[in-house]
Structure 1
Amino acid sequence: MKYVLAGSSGFLGQALTQDLRANGHEVTRLVRRTPSAPDELQWDPFTGRIDHTALEDADVLINLAGANIGRPWTPTYRATIRESRVRTTATLAEAAARLDNRPVFITQSGIGGYGTDCGGRILTEDSPLGDGFLADVVRVWEGAADPARTAGCRVVSFRTGIVLARQAPAFQLLSLPFRLGLGGRLGSGTQYFPVISLIDWLRAIRHTATTSTITGPVNVTLPTPTTNAAFTKALAAALHRPAILPIPAPALTTALGEFAWELLGSKRALPQALQSTGFTFTHPTTPEALAATLTHQHQH
């Protein structure tokens, strides 16, 4: 199949490009600078400029672009977080709508869409979106795909938990304190903490691209939701480090601002759309996902 990828320079974009090619697919990467390789195509998501003829034979369009959320959300940076996702999605969706063939359109979204703290409530794709800055971002981000939806494309929004991979920025942030011997649960530790192994995230993309019944939001999280305390314990064991210093919630909110709620808020999300269409997880539990992350297993 032919995939066209926006946001291919980020960690997930690089991993996906490699994975798709290893599975025999063709990948074209959208870049904002002047292309420096034959597989690159220039675009400008902020002015909407993109070469439609070059997209004509694409089977799947994927948007992974978006500014990093793991830094303080100043008012200016909030606008960057939102615009970087909405503009790229809208430009790709408008391009998809103008193509004669109707490609599948997969856009990354966030589990934060369900709200800052959902307690023990089970969240499926039918659960309503919640309150808070990221929930508002998810609403407009997923809504930006409407032109493609209206034109008859199959549109899917990946509501992804924290992707566990050695090189993933979020995972490096989480594991750093443990490597220093200072790891511990975040806040009370009772919050549900949605994670997924990189291998299963990659497999979920390929499964979704070829499963015509999947449409709308897709929770990309482990089928066995884990609490932060259980995740912490498993991470400490996998790293052979103690997990003795709980990081109090106020310390996190002071250091990270509102982003801290991405780590402190509870999201007990279940991957119903994936499981109901026959997807099986290579690493269904946290210890398995962490073991795969830390031993660098790359199974396809």
Structure 2
Amino acid sequence: MKYVLAGSSGFLGKALARDLLADGHQVTRLVRREPSQPSEVRWDPARGQLDPSALDNADVLINLAGANIGRPWTPKYRNAIRESRVTTTATLAEAAAQLERPPVFITQSGIGGYGKDCGDEILTEESELGDGFLADVVRVWEGAADPAREAGCRVVALRTGVVLERTAPAFQLLSLPFRVGVGGRLGSGKQYFPVVSLTDWLGVVRHCAENDQVSGPVNVTLPEPTTNQEFTKALGAALHRPTLVPVPSFVLTTVLGEFAWELIGSKRALPNALLASSYTFKHPTAETALESALA
């Protein structure tokens, strides 16, 4: 299959490109600089510029582009978080809408779309999006794919939890306190903490690309949701480190602002769309996902 990939320089983009190429697929990377090899195509999403002919014969378009959310959300940076996702999705979707043969259109999204703190509520793809900055971003981010959808593309929005893998920036940040012996639960620890292994994230992308049953939002999280306290215990055990230093919620909100709710807010998300379409998780629990991440 021919895949066109935006956001190929990020952690997930690099991992996906490697995985696809290893299986013999063709991967075209969209880049903002001068192309350095035949498999690269230049685009300028900030200006909405992408030649649709560069997408000819593409089977799957994937957008993983977006500014890192793991830093202080100043007003200026909030705009960067939003625009980096919306402009890239819109530019790719509008180009896809002009193609004679509609490709599958997959865009990364976020589990934060369900709101800052959902308690014990079970969140499926049928659940309403919630309140807060990231929820607002997810609304416009997923909506930016509408031109592709209206042109007949099968559109999938991956509402992904924290992807676990040894070299993943988010996982390195989470595991650092444990590695130096000061790890512990975040806040009460009772909040549900949506995660997924990199192996399963890659498998989900391929499953969504190849399975005509899948469209719309897709929760990419463990089928057996874990609380932060359970995850903390499993991570400490996997690293052979103590988990005796909890971090109070007020410390996280003081230091991290609204981003702290991505850590202390509860999101009990279930991957119903994947399970209904017969996707089988290789790492269905926190313990097996962490074992895979640290292998």
Normalised to the residue count of structure 2, the TM-score between the two structures is 0.99
List structure 1 segments (4+ residues) > 3 angstroms apart after TM superposition. none
Q: Write out per-residue CA displacement over residues 204-234 of structure 1, whole angstroms, 9 at most, x where no aligned residue.
A: 0000001111110000000000000000000
Q: Shift of the alpha carbon at 1:153?
A: 0.4
Shift of 1:257: 1.1
What residue in structure 1 maps to residue 281 of structure 2?
A: 281
Distance 2:257 2:165 in 1: 25
Query: Which residue type is aligned with residue 286 of structure 1?
Result: A
One-letter code aligned to 1:271: P
Residue 2 of structure 1 is matched in structure 2 by 2
Q: Does 1:125 align with 2:125?
A: yes
Instruction: Tell me the distance in 2 between the aligned counterparts of 1:272 and 1:23.
Output: 27
User: Hey, what does 2:93 align to over in structure 1?
Assistant: 93
Residue 130 of structure 1, CA deviation: 0.2
Aligned partners of 1:24, 1:255: CA distance in 2, in Å? 45
**Corresponding position of 1:239:** 239
Give 1:84's aligned residue: 84
Question: Residue type of the partner of 2:36?
Answer: S
How much does 1:40 deviate? 0.7
Residue in structure 2 matched with residue 158 of structure 1 by the alignment: 158
SS of the equivalent of 1:49 reads coil
Which TM-score applies when normalising by structure 1? 0.98
Q: Tell me the CA shift for residue 53 of structure 1.
A: 1.2
SS class of match (2:176):
helix
Offset of 1:191 from its aligned partner? 0.1
- Structure 2 gaps of 5+ residues are none
1:33 match: 33
Shift of 1:54: 1.8
Q: CA deviation at 1:244?
A: 0.3
Paired residue for 1:58?
A: 58
Distance of 1:164 and 1:227 partners within structure 2: 15
Q: CA deviation at 1:168?
A: 0.8
Structure 1 Cα separation of the partners of residues 229 and 127 of structure 2: 25
Helix, strand or coil at the partner of 1:67: coil
Deviation at 1:60, TM superposition (A): 0.2
Distance in 2, Cα, partners of 1:138 & 1:216: 13
Match of 2:190 in 1: 190
Shift of 1:29: 0.4
User: How far apart, in 2, do the equivalents of 1:68 and 1:180 lie?
Assistant: 25
In the alignment, does 2:174 pair up with 1:177? no
CA distance in 2, matches of 1:189, 1:246: 9
What residue is the counterpart of 2:47 in the other structure? 47
SS of alignment partner, residue 46 of structure 1: helix
Alpha-carbon shift at residue 51 of structure 1 (Å): 2.0
User: Within the alignment, does 1:222 sit opposite 2:222 as a pair?
Assistant: yes
Q: In the TM superposition, what whole-angstrom CA distance separates every residue of 1:234-279 from its partner, at most 9, and x where no partner exists? A: 0000000000000111111111111000000000000000010010
Aligned twin of 1:250? 250
Q: How many percent identity over aligned positions?
A: 73
Alignment partner of 1:208 is 2:181: no
2:283 equivalent to 1:291: no
SS at match of 2:226: coil
Q: Separation in 1 of the partners of 2:176 and 2:257?
A: 19
What's 1:105 paired with?
105
Paired position in structure 1 for 2:20: 20
Q: Which residue of 2 aligns with 1:265?
A: 265
| Cα separation, 2, equivalents of 1:53 and 1:248 | 53
Letter in 1 for 2:200: D
Cα deviation code 1:66-100 (max 9, x no counterpart): 00000010011000000000000000000000000
2: CA distance, partners of 1:177 / 1:37: 40
- In structure 2, the residue matched to 1:74 is 74
Alpha-carbon offset, residue 173 of structure 1:
0.6
Provide the alpha-carbon RMSD of the alignment. Answer: 0.5
SS at match of 1:62: strand
